Amino acid sequence: MNLKRLTVCVLAMALLFPTLTFAETPASFRFTWHNEMETNGSAIVRDGVVYIGAEEVFIIAGLQMEWDSAHQRLRLIGDKLKMALRLGSTTGYVNGKVTDIGGFPFVSDKRTYIPARFIVNALSGKNLKWNKSDRSLHATGLHDATTENRTYGGLIYSIKPGTSDLYVTDSKGIKRTLTNLGNHDFDSTEFHFHPTDGGLLIVTIHDNYGEPHVHDRMFTVLIKDGGVIRQSTVNYFNRFTPNVVQYDNHPLLIDEEKL
């Protein structure tokens, strides 16, 4: 076999059996959530893209992980966020829309690594920054994928993350905004409903937040004929008793800005 034929043969074998190599270095990440909780973990920088070991982030975000039988396709399911990713593919789905992931998801040492920027964007995070000195990635303001809601009178009452809009959804799935509760992030939220003899509905929303959870924010919304006619907000520290909402058959609203 002459040299020319040998060279052609070697090239053909290289094409048939390609070898994939990645420039890979260890790193770390620290994410701060909207409720001030932090998540830390391992990261890998591969060909200029930061990937994070994402299992803990998914758990905190309220996303259920489901692999297919071949362990190649991953579904992430939450109340208001659904994603689908495939190992080795730069394309995924976020709430049914095709999305560029910005890298190739992979598994290493039984950990699932996904491009950090994609996760931060999907969870409405911000301020994504790379610290070169200690090789760490930081982001803030991440939101979980759960919905704070409660059903009353055939309507689902919910708070929209990011905007703090209070809205209702009827049995046909039609959404209607009732009011805006202000510039707040909601952490651990409870709804309570108090109908009055005069046909009004008093909705109180109790949000316990901070780290540790010693702060309480109370919202009171007065509804008449399906519309909001009054609302108030008050903050407390180390006080967990609900507000009085009625006195002598009259609605009572406590508003810290008007006291």
pLDDT in tens, 48-79: 999 999 888 988 888 889 999 999 999 998 87
Residue 76, pLDDT score: 93
Summarize pLDDT for 90-105 with one digit per residue, the tens: 999 998 899 999 999 9
Q: How far apart are CA 32 and CA 239, in angstroms?
A: 26
Place of tokens 């982001």: 139
Q: How far apart are CA 56 and CA 108, in angstroms?
A: 15
Strand partners, 46: 24, 49
To which H or E segment does residue 14 belong?
Answer: helix 3-16
CB 84 within 8 A of CB 92: yes
Q: Is the pTM of this model over 0.75?
A: no
List the structure tokens of 29: 């990440």
Chain centroid offset of residue 162 CA? 10
Peptide bond into 251 cis (omega under 30): no
Q: Which of 30-34, 187-191, 244-248 has the lowest mean pLDDT?
A: 244-248
Structural domains of the chain sorted by starting position, each given as residue range(s) with its CATH number in brackets = 22-142 (3.30.457.10), 149-251 (no CATH)
List the structure tokens of 6: 């040998």
Summarize pLDDT for 22-41 with one digit per residue, the tens: 578 999 999 998 777 889 99
Q: How far apart are CA 148 and CA 184, in angstroms?
A: 14
Q: How far apart are CA 201 and CA 157, in angstroms?
A: 13
- Where residue 147 falls among pLDDT bands split at 50, 70, 90? low
Q: How far apart are CA 245 and CA 250, in angstroms?
A: 8
Return the higher-pLDDT residue of 11 and 182. 182
